[in-house]
Structure 1
Amino acid sequence: MYNLIEIEPSSVEEASKQQVWKDAMDEEHQSIIKNDVWDIVPRLEGKLVVSSKWLYKIKHAADVSIEKFNARFVVRGFSQKEGIDYEETFSLVARYTSIGTIIAIAATKGCKLH
């Protein structure tokens, strides 16, 4: 379908010229909407707006064919300063060691996991 010569775009303008990247960006946008990732809020006086950008990556299968065109919309949070632009952060990420610990405790207590 695609060959290995495909090049990942470095800007939205480049990506917008190819339907596969438009589709990848649309898929990412739909995922953001579906998962209710963020809320649009009014800009507070004296606060900076955090910029964002699109990142593009071609995922290859084991046989080096193109498996997927992946687009990610990311926030450039490095411009924020704790206590000035934000007070707290939260990222729902489970570590494998935590999951393993929970499974081990459940097993020793005879609990069922769902």
Structure 2
Amino acid sequence: MKPVMTLLSLMLGKFCEDNVEVSSNKGSITYGRGRPRVVRSGNRGHPRKERHVLNFTKNIDVKIPQSVNEALNDDYAKHWRASMQKEYDVLVKNKTWSFVELPSNEKAINCKWVFNIKRNADGCVERFKSRLVAKGCSQQYGTNFTETFSPVVGYATVHMLLALSCKYKLH
């Protein structure tokens, strides 16, 4: 017999078991993976949807930081730091940046870290994600404001270029 979960333990997020029994006026309902074992009837033959308590508890235990300072002072700081380092290493490996001299009358666009948590199907934390993004709000209207550079290519474009190179014997 598994312990009975209380609302206080739900809010604190200090309980993680595979099956939990919750007692109510209409009977005992067992929560776990998949559908509940006892389903109360709803409208016209459709069972009433039951919320899974375990997913609720797993989602409240890790807070997503809004800034670098929050991430580095968090309980999961070593995970956030490793995630940030991994993202930075990928950006350097892909040669995302090239160092150029900034003109004296221009201002560089700042960047910021955006954090997220990826979870498994059962709600447990799979990995910590960090992304370094440009702060587009710091752009000035009229200065490279309408220009967009997106270094992606579609499959159809590559297919067309290969077809043209074969047709005109450019290989």
> What range is the shorter-chain TM-score in?
0.7 to 0.9
> What corresponds to 1:6 in structure 2?
62
From 64, 68, 78, the counterpart of 1:19: 78
- The equivalences for 1:1-114 within 5 A come to 3-4=58-59, 5-17=61-73, 18-81=77-140, 84-85=143-144, 88-94=147-153, 98-99=154-155, 102=159
Q: Does structure 2 retain, via aligned residues, the 8 Å contact 1:53–1:73?
A: yes
TM-score, normalised by the number of residues in structure 2: 0.50
**TM-score, normalized by length of structure 1?**
0.72
Percent identity for Structure 1 against Structure 2: 34
Query: Secondary structure, in 3 states, of the residue corresponding to 1:14?
Result: helix
Give the 3-state SS of the residue equivalent to 1:26 in structure 2: helix
Instruction: Report the structure number with the largest CA radius of gyration.
Output: 2
What is the alpha-carbon root mean square deviation over aligned residues? 2.7
CA contact (8 A) 1:55 1:73 kept: yes
Per-residue deviation, 1:87: 8.4
Choose between structure 1 and 2 for higher RCO, CA contacts under 8 A separated by at least 6 residues: 1
| Structure 1, gaps ≥5 residues long | 107-114
Measured after TM superposition, the shift of residue 88 of structure 1 is 4.7
SS at structure 2 position matched to 1:68: strand
State the partner residue of 2:54: none
- Aligned-partner residue type, residue 67 of structure 1: E
Residue aligning to 2:4:
none
